Chain A
Amino acid sequence: MLNELLFKFATWLDGFQASTNLHEALYAYGWVEGTHVLTLTLFLGMLLVIDLRLLGVAFKELPASTLMERLDKPMMIGFVVMIISGVLLYFAIPVRSTQSIWFRIKVVLLIAAGINALLIRNMTRSTNLTWDRDPIPPKRIRVGAGLSLSLWILVVVCGRNMAYDWWDCHKEMPYFMYWAAGCVNELAAFE
């Protein structure tokens, strides 16, 4: 049901001339993709700084709140650029992306990373940052920061692997993989 819906949406996007134009553009697609990858240095770079502080392994001389509050803006600028370029990349290749097992895992991981970030924020608020100047923050903060880094590393791995066609719909795969990747037409052949 959801697979069909997503496939319909992707096919609808695929019908736009702009989608085809961006995909087939000599330079534009590369620039959007390049922007997506290069902006990682700003977004994930700032996140790395904050998480390393929350893990208690770097920037220990500085209050955790200083880094969290003041690196939030550059990090979010990077995040917005990543979202915009990411949406454009999806728009350029909607059907294949929708039916990519890597993209699907990536979206789930992104949601998990978002929830984790909210939990970290709530934890820092509820503790009133009594540990702000401690070189090593409380254990649950460190667990949150470790989880944050792990999730984002996996997001990058999934994004990178989207370029490969190992589990594309046109490949010979078990039923479960067709279902997980949302290969609607291939699934119909099983009926």
Chain B
Amino acid sequence: MNVVPFFEWLDASWLASFSKTYAGLFSMVQAVHILSMVMLVGMIILGDLRMLNIVLRGVPSDVILRNTKKWIYIGLVGIILSGIYESSAIAMKLAYNSFFWAKMAGLAMGIVFMLSLRSAVYSRAPEVIASTGPKTDAVEPWVVKLVALTSLFIWFSVAANGRWIGFS
């Protein structure tokens, strides 16, 4: 599939002419992008560190995970909207930038992983991790920890690749 025409279309769009014109607004959107990352990844880190029993051990994990959910979605919306705005200003650079594509692959993987495996495994965490009482369908602790490490790794790669777009 050739995606270059899409970036050519984005580069010629009214959004691109707008985002390329106002440098001050662009830097504000960049700040929103970073702050959305803090909200999204910060909340994911909290959940993952909790499931690794590194922070808040003994505090019922379902309470923590339930509370992070809303902020993860707000962060995700913020990061995608500000990201589309930013990408319009440098569309032709991104079309050929491997860090951008690695970031997009990581982002897609991160979202799918979070909604499928991560949530399924975390809800079946054994008592030694979850502290929510015995379950009949509990998985082994190492499975939960592997999922937590994978989640941390995926989101780290998204953020690191994103930062490196600016250097490339």
Contact = CB atoms under 8 A, between A and B. Distances in A.
Interface of A: 30, 33-34, 37-38, 40-42, 44-46, 48-49, 52, 58-59, 61-62, 66-67, 70-71, 74, 153, 156-157, 160-161, 163-164, 166
In terms of DSSP, what is the predominant structure of the interface of chain A?
helix
Interface in B38-80: 38-39, 41-43, 45-46, 49, 54-56, 59, 63-64, 67, 70-71
Contacts of B30: 160
B128 interface: no
In terms of DSSP, what is the predominant structure of the interface of chain B?
helix
Interface string B4-44: 00000000000000000001100110110011011101110
Contacts of B67: 58-59, 61
Contacts of A61: 63, 67
Contacts of B31: 153, 156-157, 160-161
Contact of B56 (A38, A71, A161, A166): A71
Contacts of B59: 62, 66, 70
Contact of A160 (B34, B43, B46, B167): B34
Contact size range, B: 20 to 34
B164 interface: yes
Given A42-B45, A166-B23, A34 B163 contact: yes
